[in-house]
């Protein structure tokens, strides 16, 4: 490799000179730590995450070079603190430098709140919020018109009423089948979310479920009993789309306060056409979400927390 | 500390002599690796998990002793592979030795399957399975009769019809408020699961929700907007109980194919008393679950996967 002097100057060899200002967030489950600090007098954000074990290097790990300190012993069970060789125990580090206040906010732990959105709250707060934001969904139209990502399309039904484009989610590496993640984006415009669905959309919903599952079985060999098919509420963008993931994928987007199984949605609407217009829908907001602000200004949380 | 010679002989100093037979399971999200191997000629199971970062030791980590190798640079963003000092980068290891075939099976990755349980499948497979198993729930009765765990009770409503005992879940350390996890166990016997609920149980369900939330606000200062309140289907034991967790707790038990929000359950039954007798309920089974075997013998999966 060739380095210019400038490259060399900027390429860090260690965290020498880094001064921690604050721990922004930590996750014990995922072994992450996000820091705000100073480097060369400028703000920096460092995202640290322990690496997964490398299956290919198990033999290098499980030998005399990994020292052990026993912490507990009970019959056939014992626990140890193990110290592997440095080279086998990497940490992934992302540095943002210089960092703006926006970066610092973005990676700071946010308070989360549970919202029980009644029909009335939807009409009074959520719907006006969605309409006032006038979110740009041009990027979705670009996909549907095949101006972008057309080489990524897995399946298409081009009907303007019940059709959709099926393509890999950005979070999927397209290699690990156990982590399969696709999205079906409908051709029809104007369906904002679950709240808009009634029996007039049953042909669309059934078509996505049936043809989406068939396309995935065809292309990847994954049968119906290995697939989770669901809708987000709130969605991350207000053009109707459906998530298809492998049963083994553990992702936060499948939590019970966000994911609604498409088969449940179809069944509920079959039972009662206006099910989702009247249903109280429960979801999580974070303090930096604009919807949280809108709900707060409306006095939602004050009222809610005085109930109990 | 005093060690007997026997203790000393059994206390491992390293993984010297360990021979890996097979990788049983790995989780990239949680940085775990489970191994089957041989140690002193006997079977062993080793469970490895990278430790979370220690917030108290950030300054020891973020200095010249942590070496960096740059992997990518783009404007203000750069990524590195970091190598912290051995002592700051521990791995938690659990050793089961000698291990039985049962241990090996227990820690082996299992195939998972999505089940769409219709009313008919419930009557034909699930209900007979529950009844045939005759699960012992004596331990639940012991809690309700205060023969065990009575010192752990957070709140009790002693009504035999709508009452319950609220106590910490075993998974909660009772210290970290952001990880709060309680269970409400009903005094009434014979309510197996969500499938049994109809309007005759509305007073019970509303009582658990209202008094459970109030007790948690009282004792821990956590308001309604910070609580997730839900039921599992399938439950882990067939005596009716409700989960209360902090909004921040990320636990697999809150996945959309297992957790049913109590507020949704109440609203659905208010709308239609026999909602849960007719509803198709979707959940995950693993190949070693007896319910999986029962469904398979019934031919459920064959039929299901020929649909798509």
Could you report the per-residue pLDDT of A118-170, keeping only the tens digit for each?
A: 999 999 999 999 999 877 789 899 999 999 889 999 999 999 999 999 999 98
Closest CA of chain A from B99, distance in Å: 8
Distances (CA, A) of B142 to B150, B172, B187: 9, 20, 11
Please report how many Cα atoms fall inside a 13 Å half-sphere around the Cα of residue A281, on the Cβ side.
Answer: 25
Contacts of B40 by beta carbon, 8 Å cutoff, 6+ apart: B17
Distances (CA, A) of A189 to A49, A69, B185: 40, 61, 47
Beta-carbon separation of B86 and A90 below 8 A: no
Hey, is the C-beta of B24 within 8 angstroms of any chain A C-beta? Answer: no
To 5 degrees, how large is the angle CA A95–CA A100–CA A105?
90
Residue B10: per-residue pLDDT: 64
Q: pLDDT tens digits for B199-238?
A: 999 999 999 999 999 999 999 999 999 999 999 999 999 9
Closest CA of chain B from A15, distance in Å: 5
Query: What is the maximum span of chain A, computed from C-alpha positions, in angstroms?
Result: 69
Is the pLDDT reported for residue A6 higher than 80? no
Of A292-306, B83-97, B129-143, the one with minimum mean pLDDT is B129-143
Residue B305: per-residue pLDDT: 80
Confidence of residue B252 (pLDDT cuts 50, 70, 90): confident
Q: How much is the average pLDDT of B138-165?
A: 95
**Considering only residues 128 to 147 of chain A, which have any Cβ-Cβ distance to chain B shorter than 8 Å?**
none
Residue B8: per-residue pLDDT: 41
Report the C-alpha gap between A292 and A173 in whole angstroms: 32
Residue A5: per-residue pLDDT: 40
Pairing of strands B164-168, B155-157: antiparallel
Tokens 């059994």: give the residue: B10
What residues in A contact B271, CB-CB < 8 Å?
Answer: 272
What residues in B contact A37, CB-CB < 8 Å?
Answer: 62
Is the pLDDT reported for residue B4 higher than 50? no
Q: Find, among B186, B179, B190, B167, the residue nearest to B262 by Cα.
A: B186
Report the C-alpha gap between B209 and B263 in whole angstroms: 8
Report the C-alpha gap between B96 and A78 in whole angstroms: 7
Give A1 or A193, the one with higher predicted confidence. A193
Catalytic residue, chosen from B187, B232, B241, B243, is B241
Most confident listed range (B103-107, B144-148, B157-161): B157-161
Residue A93: per-residue pLDDT: 96
Closest CA of chain A from B186, distance in Å: 20
Residue B74: per-residue pLDDT: 87
Contacts of B149 by beta carbon, 8 Å cutoff, 6+ apart: B142, B143, B167
Is the pLDDT reported for residue A250 higher than 70? yes
| Domains, chain A, with CATH or none | 5-51+91-106 (3.30.200.40), 112-305 (3.30.428.10)
Pairing of strands A42-50, A32-39: antiparallel
Is the pLDDT reported for residue B3 higher than 50? no
Q: pLDDT tens digits for B119-139?
A: 999 999 999 999 998 777 899
pLDDT mean across residues, chain B:
93
């Amino acid at each position: 490799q060739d380095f210019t002097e400038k490259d060399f100057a900027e390429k860090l060899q260690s965290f020498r000179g880094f001064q921690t200002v604050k721990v922004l967030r930590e996750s014990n489950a995922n072994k992450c730590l996000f820091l705000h600090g100073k480097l060369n007098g400028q703000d920096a954000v460092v995202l640290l995450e322990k690496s997964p074990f490398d299956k290919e290097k198990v033999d290098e790990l499980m030998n005399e070079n990994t020292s052990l300190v026993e912490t507990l012993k009970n019959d056939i069970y014992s626990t140890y603190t193990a110290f592997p060789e440095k080279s086998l125990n990497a940490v992934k580090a992302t540095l943002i430098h210089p960092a703006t206040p926006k970066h610092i906010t973005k990676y700071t732990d946010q308070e989360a709140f549970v919202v029980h959105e009644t029909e009335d709250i939807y009409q009074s707060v959520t719907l006006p919020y969605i309409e006032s934001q006038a979110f740009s969904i041009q990027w979705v139209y670009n996909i549907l018109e095949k101006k972008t990502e057309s080489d990524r399309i897995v399946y298409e039904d081009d009907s303007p009423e019940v059709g959709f484009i099926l393509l890999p989610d950005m979070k999927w590496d397209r290699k690990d089948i156990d982590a399969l993640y696709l999205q079906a984006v409908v051709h029809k415009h104007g369906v904002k979310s679950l709240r808009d669905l009634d029996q007039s959309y049953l042909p669309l919903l059934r078509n996505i479920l049936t043809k989406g599952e068939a396309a995935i079985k065809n292309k990847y060999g994954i049968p119906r009993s290995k697939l989770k098919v669901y809708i987000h509420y709130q969605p991350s963008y207000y053009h109707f789309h459906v998530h298809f993931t492998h049963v083994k994928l553990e992702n936060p987007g499948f939590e019970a306060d966000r994911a609604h199984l498409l088969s449940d949605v179809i069944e509920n609407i079959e039972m009662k056409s206006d099910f989702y217009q009247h249903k109280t829908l429960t979801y999580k907001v974070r303090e930096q979400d604009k919807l949280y602000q809108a709900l707060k200004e409306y006095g939602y949380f004050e009222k809610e927390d005085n109930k109990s």
